[in-house]
Every structure is written in structure tokens, then in C-alpha cells.
Amino acid sequence: MKLTRISAIRRKELRQAAFAVLQSEGVAGATLEKVAAAAGASKGIVLHYFRNKQELFEHAMREANAVLRDTVIARLKQAKTPMQRIDAVIDGNFEPHLFQPSVCHAWLSLCAEVPRDKKLERIQTVIHARMRSNLMSGLRDLAPLQQAEEIALVVTALIDGFWLRLGLGPDSISREQAISEVKAVVTAKLMAATQASKGRPGP
């Protein structure tokens, strides 16, 4: 039966088209017709494969999430040491094809709708849980549990922050700088965790 084949292909095309439209138009300007046009199809076909607009964009987010997940997984497979696992997560989140202003725009738009869409919220939760878990797989061996979790939290927030920055200002942060800053924070916190506390420096 080719049925499953064609429908799977078409659905994927439409998910990607939806994400592409999100990149250029944002959530407010993303219409079914634009998605159809982006996919080279008619509006009818979009609603043939997806119950409604909401479902379409939920799948668009799933698709984007899958890309991000696979990118990081690929790097994790190469990693041998705990530190390399951490670097894999960081580097993966800033891969050139992901860390693009337009991609950040799309994510921003999706995130902005999270509070009003249970499905989107779920996906977002998964993303953060996975990122934390991936980081912990390396951090566990480099710091006590409590510290490791703290570092994981900070790193995820930092990554989100840099993504937001790139979305808000295309030239505000470079991929290389973002990576180096995140890694520097990891290093600094690991060092701080390693040595005895001396109180805060400065006057």
C-alpha cells in the first residue's frame, strides 16, 4: 500500500512548509494559504492532512524538535568523555543550520503560543527535559549531583538566552561566541564547585 507512503511524505512536506512560513511570517501572519503556497499545494490539501491549523503547527514544532534532537544525538554518539558529552550538547544546539535568525524567529513564535496550547507545552517540556538529561549524562561524572543539576539548569537557560538574542538581533551574537561563552560558564562553575568556597570577590 502506497497510501501510507504518500501521506507520510505529504505530511512531512507540510510540516516543514509550516515551519518555513513561521520563520518569515511569525505566528500572527502564518496562514494556511501561505503554508500551502510554500509547499506548492492548495489550501485544501493542508486541511486534508491536518485536522486544523493548530494541529498543523503542533506537528511543525514536533518536526523542528526532531531535527534538534537528532543533531544533538549525532554529536553525542561521537563523545567519549563526560566533558565531550557536555560539549556535544552545547555544540549541537548551536549548529550552523539551527542557529539562524530565521529559525530562532520560528521557535520564538512557537514558544509564544505555548501557554495557550497544551500540545506545544508538552513538546517544550520534552525539549527541556531532554536537554537537561543529555547534559546530566556528562555532568554527573564531573560534579556532585546538586552542582551538576545547577549547572545543567544554567546551561539550558543560557542556550535559550542566546537563541532569543539571535532571534531579536541577527548580528547580536555569533555562533562561535555563544559556544565559547556557554563553555566558559561550564568551566567556571566546575572550577568553583571543585575548590573550597572563599566568599564573593570584589569590594
Rounded to a whole number of angstroms, the minimum distance from the CB of residue 86 to a second copy is: 9
Do 58 and 15 meet the contact criterion of CB atoms below 8 Å apart?
no
Regarding 184 and contact with DNA (CB under 7 A), the answer is no
Among 12, 24, 29, 144, binds DNA (CB under 7 A): 29
How many angstroms separate the first and last alpha carbons of the chain?
Answer: 74
Q: Which is nearer to a second copy, 9 or 168 (CB)?
A: 168
Q: Hey, what's the cell of 4?
A: 501510507
Q: Where are the alpha helices (DSSP H) in 140-196?
A: 145-168, 175-194
The site for a second copy (CB under 8 A) is made up of 25-29, 81-83, 101, 105, 108-109, 111-116, 121, 124-125, 128, 141-142, 150, 153-154, 156-162, 164-165, 167-169, 172-173, 181, 184-185, 187-192, 194, 198, 200-203
Of 32, 60, 135, 151, the one binding DNA (CB under 7 A) is 32
Contact indicator for 134, 69 with CB cutoff of 8 Å: no
CA distances from 3 to 7, 9, 50 (A): 6, 10, 16
Residues in 33-52 at the binding interface with DNA, rule: CB under 7 A: 33, 41-45, 47-48, 52
